[in-house]
Amino acid sequence: MKKSVLLVAACLGLIPATAFAQDSTPPPSAAADDGPKAPDGSKAFGIEPYVGVLGGYETFDHRSEFGTSPNHGTMNGALISGVAGVNVPLGPVFVGVEGNGTKGFNDINWEYGVKGRVGARAGDSGLIYVAAGYEWINPHSNRGFSDHSSWVYGLGVEVGPKDIGLKGATGNAGPRLRLQMDTYDFHSLRPMAGVIFHF
């Protein structure tokens, strides 16, 4: 009888200690998530592909290589652009590359280009960046302008879902509103706005 009481007491003494030891051990998922984080809570390092649609307008000055047309003056036109690219997050900053295919109106027929981007991750899920690359422009031939290509430069901002009050609606990935301003060889202004979808 005495041995049974001692055995029960020992077991009762071990149960709280065992339970405490189990409670104090972090779950495997928590231990795995202890790495660096981006402002939106996603991993700080990785690869982030995206696609998007932008709309805007481009106007060139008379000093550009397109010059002026006797009947149409300086070149200009509305634009609808499809973009695709990839960002590589590096903690609070990122680098990336992006290509575009753009349909133009008025004087501009098509534009194609590729740019590198570098910037900072801002707010909960936003980006602020500068960009530089190369652009090929094909005007409408009946407007008196010829094809040319040159360097392009730009800057922009992307605002993520959490920054516009949609916290939890799309998660860390999803749509971002982009506003950007580009220039063709510092002889044009090209404001664009649209939606970028990150994966």
CATH number of the domain bearing residue 67: 2.40.160.20
Residue 27 lies in a domain: no
Q: Pick the closest to residue 190 from 142, 147, 141, 150 (CA basis).
A: 150
17: amino acid identity, one letter: A
| pLDDT value of residue 171 | 47
| pLDDT value of residue 47 | 86
pLDDT, tens digit, 9 for 90 and up, residues 101-128: 999 999 999 999 999 999 998 876 789 9
The two tokens of residue 187 are: 């002889």
Q: Pick the closest to residue 156 from 117, 112, 108 (CA basis).
A: 117
What length does the chain have? Answer: 199
- Residue 2, φ and ψ in degrees, nearest 5: -60, -40
Residue 19 lies in a domain: no
Domain that includes residue 181, residue range: 48-198
Residue 53 lies in a domain: yes
125 with 165: CB under 8 angstroms? no
Q: Pick the closest to residue 87 from 194, 197, 168, 183 (CA basis).
A: 197
Residue 180 lies in a domain: yes
Number of domains observed in the structure of the chain: 1
